[in-house]
Amino acid sequence: MFEKFKKIRKCEKGFTLTEVMIGMMILTIAIVTATNLVVGLIRSNQNNVKTLQAYYFAVEGIEAVRNIRDTNWIHNKYWLGDESGNPWGSNFEVDGQYSIDFVNVSSIPAEKEIGNFSELNAYAPWEVSADGDEVNFVERDASGFNRTISFYEYECDERDCGDYVRVQSKVTWKDGARDREVVVEEIFTNWKGGAI
C-alpha cells in the first residue's frame, strides 16, 4: 500500500516559485498596459469632445453674423450694419474684431411681429461688442471657451469684390498647458444688393 502512495507522490507536478513569479509578472504587465490604454482612450475622448464643442461655438459665431446680416436686410439697413439705431451694439467693419454672444431671449413670444428696426432692440438675440485693436473674448458658461469674430477683406482676381467679406470665427481654449483653437471661415456677400 505504501508503494502505491509513493507512486502517486512521484507523479504529482506543481509550479515552482520561479514559474509563479514569471506568471505574475506577465499578468501585471498585461493589466498595466490595458489600464494605460483605457486611460489614453478616455483622455482622447475628452479632447475630441472639447474640440467638437469648440467647433460648434465657432459655427454659432458664423451663424450669428449671418443672422445679423439677414436681419439688417429685412429692415432695410446696410448688410454689415450702420450707426443708426443698430440693435446689435456695433456695425461690422473690415479688419475689425468683435465678440458676439447669445442673449437670453426666453421672454420673447414665439410669434411677435416686429414692424421697424427700433422695435428689434428689445428682441435682438445677439450682443455684439467691438474692441478696436484688442481682441475681446467671450467666456462661455465658465467652460473655458473664448470666441472672436474677425472680418477681413475678400481678395479675388476676376471681379470687383467690394461687396464680399471673409468672416473668421475663432474659438480658443486651454488643454492643460497647451493652447488650442478651432477656426471656421466663410465668405459673406451682399447678394441682395443693399437696401431696397
Q: How far apart are CA 85 and CA 71, in angstroms?
A: 13
Q: How far apart are CA 190 and CA 70, in angstroms?
A: 10
- Comparison of pLDDT for 51 and 125, the residue scoring more: 51
Residue 3 lies in a domain: no
Residue 168 lies in a domain: yes
The three cell numbers of residue 4 are: 502505491
Q: What is the DSSP letter of 170?
A: E
State which residues form the domain around 77: 17-189
Residue 48 lies in a domain: yes
pLDDT the model gives residue 17: 86
pLDDT the model gives residue 16: 85
pLDDT band, residue 125 (cuts 50/70/90): confident
Q: In terms of residues, how long is the chain? A: 196
- Comparison of pLDDT for 168 and 125, the residue scoring more: 168
Residue 11 lies in a domain: no
Q: How far apart are CA 168 and CA 152, in angstroms?
A: 8
Q: What percent of the chain has pLDDT over 70?
A: 70
Q: How far apart are CA 80 and CA 189, in angstroms?
A: 10
Residue 134 pLDDT > 60, yes or no?
no
pLDDT the model gives residue 67: 86
Residue 154 pLDDT > 90, yes or no?
no
Q: How many domains does the chain have?
A: 1
pLDDT the model gives residue 76: 77
pLDDT the model gives residue 90: 74
Residue 69 lies in a domain: yes
- Comparison of pLDDT for 72 and 41, the residue scoring more: 41
Gyration radius (Cα) of the chain, Å: 32
Residue 177 lies in a domain: yes
- Comparison of pLDDT for 42 and 86, the residue scoring more: 42
Residue 78 lies in a domain: yes
Residue 10 lies in a domain: no
Taking the whole predicted model, whether its pTM rises above 0.75 is answered as: no
